Structure formats: structure tokens, C-alpha cells
Structure 1
Amino acid sequence: MPVSDNRPFSKVIVIGAGFSGLAMACQLQRKLNCDDYTIYDRSAAPGGAWWANKYPGCAVDIPAVFYSLSFAPNPDFSKVFPPQAEILEYFNGVAKKFDVSRHIVSNTEWEGAYWQEKSKIWLVKLKDLLTGGIFYQECQVLVSAVGGLVNPNLFNLPGVETFQGDIIHTARWKENISFQQKDVIVVGNGCSAAQLVPAISNEAKSVTQFIRTPQHYLHNENIQVSDTWRFIFRHMPIALWILRVVVFLYLEGTAARFNMDANGIKARKASADRSEAYIKRTAPEKYWPLLIPKFEIGCKRRVFDTTKYIGCLQQDNIHLTDDPIVGVQPHSILTQSGQEHSADTILLATGFSLTQYDVELIGRDGRTREDHWDEYGYKEAYKSIAMSGFPNFFYILGPNSGKGHTSTIYSIENYVDLVVTAITPVIKEHSSFVEVKPDSERLYNERLHESITKTVFNTSCGSVSHFYNFFACLRKRVDQEMQYFIDQKSQKNWFIYPWSSFAMWYSTHWDRADDWVYDVSSPKLSNNMQSLTKFSSRPNLAKRNGCSELVSQH
């Protein structure tokens, strides 16, 4: 493989140009006045999941007033849950407003990163996807803003190469495709499928949907935002801020249902009962067994039925089945029961392969990320952002950053703020590196997993143990999907953040600051020791005796 010219040094390299990368870039500029950064993304354009997912019906399922950056409010969303195009337009508008776009390099894939102990820098390996060329770039701080919704699950069934029509994943949508007078197969029944099926149901000749496991579907209305309200939001920003707070508090009020105490059990049962009642009054009775799950609500992501998916199942041209697919023919698919279904197009709403941590990452003393996690026995990071032995490396939405009830953007902003606080001495050239202390990392994870056991997200949740083999010959794939919440080596949940959003904000803004190690060996740092006590607004920093507890010789 050709090696192209290496790129000049960049103070910060961010991998991923989705909302995590955008927020990180904006705060580098807003809070640190740092313009020396580069964002690499494998896609042809920025936007992350909102650029990749262009399928019909795609929309956000969190009210957009809260699915937006706090420092960049948008008064112009047309609906409470606007479509993908509006979210992407908002994203690009923020990138333009904060002059982030010129820092983004598209069609470039991250292939590895290697810590250079002598120079205290990262050597990052990248691949130009247009030319196939490999190049390297050095940086002082490396941030992984890579999301999990990157690589679609494969559809490797016998005969798939013989199929004469289109096979399209929702995250690899083919523009200008027509379903007129076509028999369409939809594989999957999660959030994407619930949006896709109603959007194509009136166009297609038939839609046959193959499901793997039931979901908890909740009735949801998508209210149009009137011109009057948009005018108010535009000219009275305080009104938009108040609405954002109201939505935040409402969503946060639903978090208690995930606890294993009596109140949580009662709240989960009430939600499950509402979901079941909605299905029974809306869907055909013959589909009730396929739509009403046996596992507890919260074990899988709830599906908010904004697009009226359940109601559209009443249409004569829509068919729902859990008969596993076992093979593909040129114009049809075969099922385990021996049935053959005509197929002109196969649409895959099968989710994603969780490969965001597969890239080679080698820290101090040649230890890999896998070595580090093998030592713990599971995927982990201190406060979801950092690992000891990997100086100046950070995650946005790393292990145990997921929340099942509120906006991912809220989590992104909190983690970005914590990363910005941690790297401030490095960016200001008061330190050559920052690294989390091993004891702090281990203590945090012990507390985290102790708290997870008190929620429905513990190993007894069965979030995926209730899955059965959707494709008869793909047992291995299903087993891999079981790792979505539960790490198979340790049976620990590596995905969920178990505490409240208030706790997340506190721990990323006002919690302990002596969990970090800073390099003080450089003469420049020695002459600027006092400035390190000012890098955070946290009050407990000022109480320390100089910097002796905040900064230690590595």
C-alpha cells in the first residue's frame, strides 16, 4: 500500500466529524482559543450518523430543542422531532458559524495511533480513502470522537451474491431509488425500521418485514412548531432556554424507572403496560405476539412511534413475520419454514457492528488498548474519557457513556468539557502530557459497576439474552450482538452510564481534580506552576497547597 507524504504537526487531532467532533472543535476554540487542530472523518462529508442515515423517514427521537448544543441553540426546527435533513442542516450551520469546517478532512480513515515516549506525542496513522495512500501525522492530544453507528452489520447469507435487486443498509442509502410496484423486504424492527416502513409503505407494492425480537413501542406525537413560536424563539432566546430546561427535567424524570427498587419496578410496569395497550388498540391482533416483548422495558432502547409504524401494520400490503431468513435467491428470499418471498429490493435496518474500538492503539511501554482492557477484564475508561498508560488520549462517548432516557448531545457536551479541562495545561504549554492515575481509574470503575448492579441494565437485564437466531445460519453474529450492553469476558455492562444527568454534570465539572498526573519536567512548566491552579473553575483546586496534589512528577 502506498505511503504518501506525512502531514505537518497538529496540536490536536480529532477522529470523527459527527456531533462529538463538532462539539470538541467548538470548545477548543471557545474555551482554549486553540485553532491548531484537525478533524478526520472516513465519510465524504461531516455530520456523522446524520450524514450517513438518509433513509426515508429518518428523524431524531429526542425533542430537538434538547438534541442540540447548548451554546448554539436553534429556533428554526419545524417539528418537535424534526427529520434528518434539518438535523444535518443545523450541524452544518454550527460548523460554519464556529469556523470548524475548514479543519475537517473527509474520506480519511484512522488506522492506528502510537505514543512516542521520548517526544511526548502521538503518531497517528491515517488512510486516504480516495487514493488508498497511507500517511502519518503527529499531534500532542488525540481525541477519539468515533461513534458506534459507523459500520453496518453484514448480511452474509447463502446466495446473497446472486440477488438481482438492490440490497441497501439504512446507513448506506441509495439516492433516487424507487419502490413503485416493487416487493420490498425489510430486515430488522428497531428505531430505523419503525421510521422506514411507514415512509415507503404507500409507494411499494408490498413490504415484508422480518423481525428478530419484539420491542417496547410507545405512542408519540410529532407536533409542528408554528411560525409564531419560531418567531418567539428567535427573538426571545430565554423562551427557548426555558423550553430546553423543561424538556431536560421531563426526560430526567423518566430515569428512575431503570432502578431495581420498588419505585423503578412499578414505573417500568406502568410503561410496559402503556406500550402493550398501545399495540393492542393499534396493531392487527395477529401481530400482537410479535410486537409485545417479554423482557423488561429499558433492557433495549425504547421505540417512540412518532411515525405511526404500529398503525401502518393495518395496511394490506404490509406483512410482519419472525420466520428466520436462511437464504437468498435472484428474486426472492427463503425462510426457515420453507416459504419463499418475492423480493425486488432488500432493505437492511439491522443496526451496526460495534467496531469503534478496533483501531490499533498503543500507549506507553508498547501496551495496547486490548492489553489494558484485558487487565481490567472489560472495556472501561475513567469517566468514559481516559485510560492510564495512554497520555493525552481521550474518548468522547467512550465506554459507559450511554444513557437510555435522554439526549446524547447532553452527554457529549459534558464529556467534552471534562476533556477540555484536563488538557488545558497541555494546550497552554504548561505541561507536555496529562494522564489519569491508575488508582483513580480503577476506583471509578468499581463504583460505576457497583451502581449498574442496582439498575435494570445489570447482567440479569437480558437486554440481548432474549434474542433468538434471526438468521438461522448467523448464530455467531447474534452472539456478537450480545456484546452491545454486556461484555462477554466479564459479564459487565460496558455501555450504560448508571447515574443521573445531574451526577454526570457534577462529575465532569466540579468533581475531583487530583485524579490526573501532569508532566512538570519542562523548564517552561516550572516557571508557570501557579497557572496550573487556574486552569479550572473548580473551587477545590484553589484549596490545594500549590500544585503538589494536582501535578506530580511522572
Structure 2
Amino acid sequence: MISEHFDAVIVGAGFAGIGAAIQFKRMGIENFVILEREDDLGGTWYVNHYPGLAVDVPTTTYSYFFEPNPNWSRLFSTGAEIKQYADDVADKYDVRRHIRFGVTVGGARWDDDAQLWRVNLADGETVDARYLVTATGFLSQPHMPDIPGIAEFDGRVIHTTAWDDSYDPTGEKIGIIGTGATAVQLIPELAEKAADLTVYQRTPIWVVPKIDFRFSERAKQLFARIPLTQRLIRVITDTIYELMVWVAVLHNRQTRGRFNIAAGDLAKMHRFATIRDKELRAKLTPDYDFGCKRPTFSNSYYRTFTKPHVHLQDSGIAKIESDGIVGNDGTKTPIDTLVLATGFDLWEANFPAIEVIGRDGRNLGKWWRETRFQAYQGVSMPHFPNFLSLASPFAFLGLNFFNTVEYQMRHMDRLFGELRRRGATTFEITEEANARYLARMTALLGDSLFTNGSCATARSYYFNPSGEPTLLRPTSTRAAIREATDFPIDDYRIV
């Protein structure tokens, strides 16, 4: 049963979905709906609200370029402020009225006869749309570790993506699994109150000092009155990050990893200045090159491990019993609460996040896994007409998700502008254009850190199950935005 018809359906109300909605409105398309499984917008910034949550790139850079925010409290703002920014942008651009919360999308199928997408909802309803945009984000499906006995644990179990705000760790014995970017923020917070904290580490993370500061009220007033001042600061922070990615990641072969070595040395000095215990320092030292796995900033993470009630366990977990964790070394640690900072199931559960069946019955997930993970300009796949996937292979730019959203919005503008100019209703990337783009991206990755560096032990989500680093687009932000503005329109078959 077809319940409703729309010009477009957007799946996901995070920053990518909000950006796609704003772009549709700019193009005069108002008959669209955003389907969001949660009960509020913001994506990962709504779902995640664990203690210590903050952005790990400067907030001068972490925002839509067309919508600077003069109200950031500090250079690295808190998760609550990022969520507020999402609310403010959605309200300003009248996006919220298009969102339907608490709606889970089961899948979507292209109807070639009707030239429409049939989108199936979990409640049995179906909506149809001329265009389908999936904006499900890269970090939307929590990873639950498969550890023997975890279901038998009698204490409290909390995953960082489902944090219990009523939980008070004061006086508790806590075990936390994971030492990724989330754990780096959370561990110092738990250590402040816990009676005993044991951190279970599989892979150490590179951590460098964090240069953070508050913005004064005078600075905020200046940003509000003269937005150009904030844009100038963004140019500086954007340029710094772009240079880091260009030198350390994209052109690692040409630069022979010199920047990576220097950044690694900075992290080593940070560890040495903070931790005097040589054995502990060695346990916290990665054995892969800086940048193979997303590094992070913290001034308190290493220092936390010097506290007498905080313990690092890196021998692995054998099993979990009703009252504690048994390590591979045979030691058992009694705990009251188990915290899972185990990240996200990026490739298996998120590419794609919903089942998408295109023309001639092509299943997107099956096609990706049987051929290679690929997407033209990080958004389009052949045999999937009128479909843009904003969380795809080769989509993520550098270290800033908003740069990704920016070029994708421009891609939409050029593509739908051409549809309007021709009086057309259907687009599909050609097999030939997709193959050329895949070959080009593969060649560019040959110069990157991921091909030339020592990344085998990083266990990085940058790499797909076949070992290819196809999450990241190996071009500069400037190049991506330029291509989004002037890609060959004949790469698409437009009807």
C-alpha cells in the first residue's frame, strides 16, 4: 500500500541529511520528507552524550561554511553545543517541519516502470519518491563486541552510544573496553569518580597535546557583528588541517612520511613527559604509523593512567563472568559496571545502512561486496537511478565531515540544475564514468599513507573488509569542491 508520494526522501536527519534538505529547498524542491529513526535530529551528536564528549577538530572548521556559528564557547566545543548548532541550523532553514521522527526505514527498491523509489518502513507502510538520498552517516551502527559470557554479566552494561545519563560512577569498579577516540574522551571522566577503573586495550591510539581555549564574550560579539572575522579564522584552521592531510596522508610516498614521523615524535614526547613508567609507556605506544588510524587530541588521557586506581590491561579478554572480566593472562578483575567504547560497525552494517535494490534487481550491499566498494564522486553508483548515497566509499574528506557535506551539496546543485535545464526527471551514473573514477581513486591511493605506510596493525575503520582504504576520498577539499561544481555532466545518463 502506497501511503504518500514525495519528490524526494532523505534517510537520516544528521548534518548530511540537514545539508541535503537545505540544498533541496535552495533548488525549489519543497515536497520532500526526512525519515529519522531517532526521536530528535543531529545524528551521532544526538545519539552520543557520554561524559567528556567533544568535537576533535576545531569548531571554527566544524560547521557548514555558509552558516558560521558565533556562539562556540571554545575552540573544541562540547557535544551539547554541536547538537544545539544542528537544532539552530534546522530551525533557521525550516528543515524540522520536513522531519518524521521515530521512523525506521527497512529498505528501498527502484520501480523501473513507474520511475520511482519505493521506500519500505518498519511499520509496514510504504512511501514513494522520485529521488532517494541516504544520509545515514558513517558512525551510526554501534559495534557490540562478541566476547564469551558478555550476556551473563550481572552488572550494568553501557555502550557509549546509549549512555545512561542517570548513571553515577562514584565509588564503582568499572571496566571499559576500547581505547579509540571516544574512550580517550571518556576514560579521564570516569577516572575522576570511579573507585577502580580497568581499561581493556586492543590497539593503542596516537594522542597528541590539545591546544584548546575559550572564546571570550568580546570575541563572540565580534564574530556575530562581523562574520568575516570568523570566516578568516576558519580559513586558517581549514588550511592547517588540509596541509596536514595533504602531506601526511595523500602524498605520503613523495614526502616519505616525514610529517608522520614528526607527529609521532610529538606524541612520544607527550607520553614521555606524562608517564614515567617505562613499561606503561610502551603499552600505550602504537606500532603502526601515525595517521593509519584516526589520531586524537587530549591533555588528560595519558595522565589518567598514572593514577593508582587506573589500570591498563592489554593482554586481551578471554571471557566475561557474572561479576568480572577474565583476561587472556588468566587474571580476573571484579567490576560493577562494564562500559563498551567499542565504536561502530562501519562496513558490515553501514555500507549500506538499509537494503537498496536498484535497476535490474542490483543489490547495493551485495554488489559492493562482490565487486569493490566504489561510488562516483562518493555519491553515485551505476544501476541506481535517482539515488545519492552521502555515506559511501570515497565520500569522506580528510578530517572534517562538513567538507564532505559541502561538496555533496554542490554536486546536488549541479546535477539537479541540469535536470531542470533539460526538463528531465531521471539521472544515473554510467558504468564507464564510474569505472574511470574508481581507477583514478585507486591510483591516487597508491601515493597515500594507507598504501605506503605501516598500517597492518592499526585495525582502522578507514579500511574495508578487503583491506582497501576506500572510506576516504584521496583528494584535497579544494579539488573535491571544484569537481562537484564542474564534473562532466555527460558522466550521467539523464532522461
TM above 0.5, one fold? yes
Q: Are 1:508 and 2:474 matched, yes or no? A: no
| Alpha-carbon distance in 1 for matches of 2:56, 2:462 | 21
Q: TM-score, normalised by structure 1?
A: 0.85
* Structure 1 residue 23 corresponds to structure 2 residue 19: yes
What residue is the counterpart of 2:311 in the other structure? 319
| Structure 1 residue aligned with 2:194 | 204
- TM-superposed CA distance for 1:144, in Å, is 0.8
1:303 to 296, 309, 314: 296
Range with bigger deviation, 442-451 or 491-500:
491-500
Query: How far apart, CA to CA, are the structure 1 residues paired with 2:5 and 2:93?
Result: 22
For 1:296 and 1:329, how far apart are their aligned partners in 2? 36
> What TM-score, normalized to structure 2?
0.95
Q: Following TM superposition, by how much is the alpha carbon of 1:461 offset from its aligned partner in structure 2, in angstroms? A: 4.1
Larger mean CA deviation between 139-148 and 508-517 belongs to 508-517
Shift of 1:371: 5.1
CA contact (8 A) 2:410 2:481 kept: no
What amino acid sits opposite 1:55 in the alignment? Y
Find 1:155's aligned residue among 132, 145, 155.
145
Cα distance in 1 for residues equivalent to 2:307 and 2:464 = 40
The question of 1:142 aligning with 2:120 is answered: no
Q: Which amino acid aligns with 1:513?
A: I
Q: Which amino acid aligns with 2:285?
A: I
Per-residue Cα deviation, 1:77-133 (whole angstroms, up to 9, x for no partner):
001001100000010011111111111112222211111111111111111xxxxx2
* Contact 2:324-2:335 at 8 Å conserved across structures: yes
1:49 to 38, 44, 53: 44
Runs of 4+ in 1 over 4 A off after TM superposition: 425-429
Q: Is the 8 A contact 1:159 1:328 kept in 2?
A: yes
1:466 maps onto 2:457 in alignment: yes
Tell me if 1:126 matches 2:121: yes
Are 1:293 and 2:286 an aligned pair? yes
Is contact 2:5–2:129 with CA below 8 Å preserved after alignment?
Answer: yes
1:497 corresponds in structure 2 to 473
Residue ranges of structure 1 left out of the alignment (5+ in a row): 128-132, 468-480, 520-554
CA contact (8 A) 2:104 2:121 kept: yes
The one of 145, 158, 161 aligned to 1:168:
158
Identity of aligned residues (%): 27
1:78-97 correspondence runs (5 A): 78-97=73-92
The 1-side partners of 2:101 and 2:53 are apart by 23
CA distance 1:38–1:324, change in 2 (3 Å):
same
Q: What letter is aligned with 2:36?
A: D
Q: Which residue in the other structure is 1:485 paired with? A: 462
Q: Retained in 2: the 8 A contact 1:153–1:350? A: yes
Q: Which residue of 2 aligns with 1:412?
A: 405
AA in 2 matched with 1:283: I
Query: In the alignment, residue 300 of structure 1 is paired with which amino acid?
Result: K
Instruction: Determine which of 339, 346, 355 is the counterpart of 1:360.
Output: 355
2:450 match: secondary structure: coil
Distance 2:256 2:104 in 1: 43
Partner Cα distance (1:231, 1:347) in 2: 41
Once the two structures are TM-superposed, the CA of residue 174 in structure 1 deviates from its matched residue by 0.9
Distance 1:270 1:166 in 2: 42
What is the Cα-based RMSD across aligned positions, in Å?
A: 1.8
8 Å contact from structure 2 (residues 253, 449) kept in 1 = no
Structure scoring higher RCO (CA < 8 A, sep ≥ 6) equals 2
5+ residue gaps, structure 2: none
Equivalent AA in structure 1 for residue 233 of structure 2: L
Superposed displacement of residue 284, structure 1: 4.0
Counterpart residue type for residue 114 of structure 1? R
What pairs up with 1:29-108 in 2 under 5 angstroms? 29-30=25-26, 32-108=27-103
Which of the residues 365, 387, 390 maps onto 1:393?
387
Moved more, 252-261 or 225-234: 252-261
Per the TM alignment, residue 384 of structure 1 is displaced from its structure 2 partner at its CA by 0.6
Q: CA deviation at 1:155?
A: 2.9
| CA displacement at 1:221 relative to structure 2 | 2.1
Task: Tell me the distance in 1 between the aligned counterparts of 2:149 and 2:365.
Answer: 36
Alpha-carbon deviation of 1:70? 1.4
- Find out whether 1:379 has 2:393 as its counterpart: no
Equivalent residue for 1:231?
221
Which residue does 1:402 correspond to in 2?
396
1:508 CA drift (Å): 1.0
What's the secondary structure of 1:486's corresponding residue? Answer: coil
**CA–CA distance in structure 2, aligned partners of residues 244 and 349 of structure 1:** 31
CA distance in 1, matches of 2:306, 2:256: 34
Amino acid of the structure 1 residue aligned with 2:270: Y
Amino acid at match of 2:115: K
TM alignment of 1:268-279, pairs within 5 A: 268-279=260-271
